[in-house]
Amino acid sequence: MEDVGFRLGQINVALEIPPFFVNFDKRDFSSMMTRTEKEGRKALFYVYISRKNQLSKLLLLKAMHPDIFIPVTLKINEEIDKDEINSFIQSVQQAENDWSYYGIGTWEKTFNSCKVYMVLIIGEDRWTVRPLIAKEGLSGFGAEIPVDIDLSDRFVGVLKEEEKKNLEIHEHGENKHFHFVVHSRERFIQLAKEWDYYFAHKERWRMSVKLT
């Protein structure tokens, strides 16, 4: 089984979400925390993002890819030195040796008949990256969003009827992982910004990952 990493940054780097499997035969996700082993061709993915001077690094991303949209309300008051700037730029260039920049804050990599996309998600004062999967012959994108267990019923209520088709829900302690199909990158970003257990709330975002 292949291990696949996506990493932006070299200083104060965080594992943004628990490592996850992608099943290329079924276009779906499964967590390392899942006890049931499913058959199929798969790979294990890790997403690492620098947490130091994040907003300054977001500007560096935009300088490298001008099509990235940054909200005008974002306030940046950080001091970043030349060495940190250069190391971040180098890390992006290294990532793009393996992941092609697709546009509008999205990177892609092909696996068999699937494409895995890493999608930039920008919050009020932080940013992260989350995956989507596309497969030849299937419409939409396979998505996974972890949601606080106490908010899970409300989350189901905001899903569109087409998103509830073939919906799978896996419980992992204090959150539930929702596996479903979205039909646009923009819709996925909207849901992740508001509901993603590891990103939507700043205090949990600070505590919920392992710094490496």
Distance CA 131, CA 93 (A): 19
Reported in sequence order, the residue ranges of 12-151 that DSSP labels E, i.e. its strands, are 13-15, 20-23, 28-31, 42-50, 100-101, 106-111, 114-122, 127-135, 141-148
Specify the length of the chain in residues: 212
0.75 exceeded by pTM = yes
Cβ pair 43, 111 in contact under 8 A = yes
Structure tokens at 23: 């099943």
What's the pLDDT at 35? 43
What's the pLDDT at 57? 96
How far, in Å, are 119, 179, 206 from residue 23 at the CA level? 19, 12, 29
Cβ pair 145, 168 in contact under 8 A = no
Q: What parts of the chain have a pLDDT lower than 50?
A: 35-36, 211-212
The burial class, CB within 10 Å (0-12 / 13-18 / 19+), for 206 is: exposed
How far, in Å, are 25, 35, 103, 182 from residue 166 at the CA level? 16, 21, 29, 12
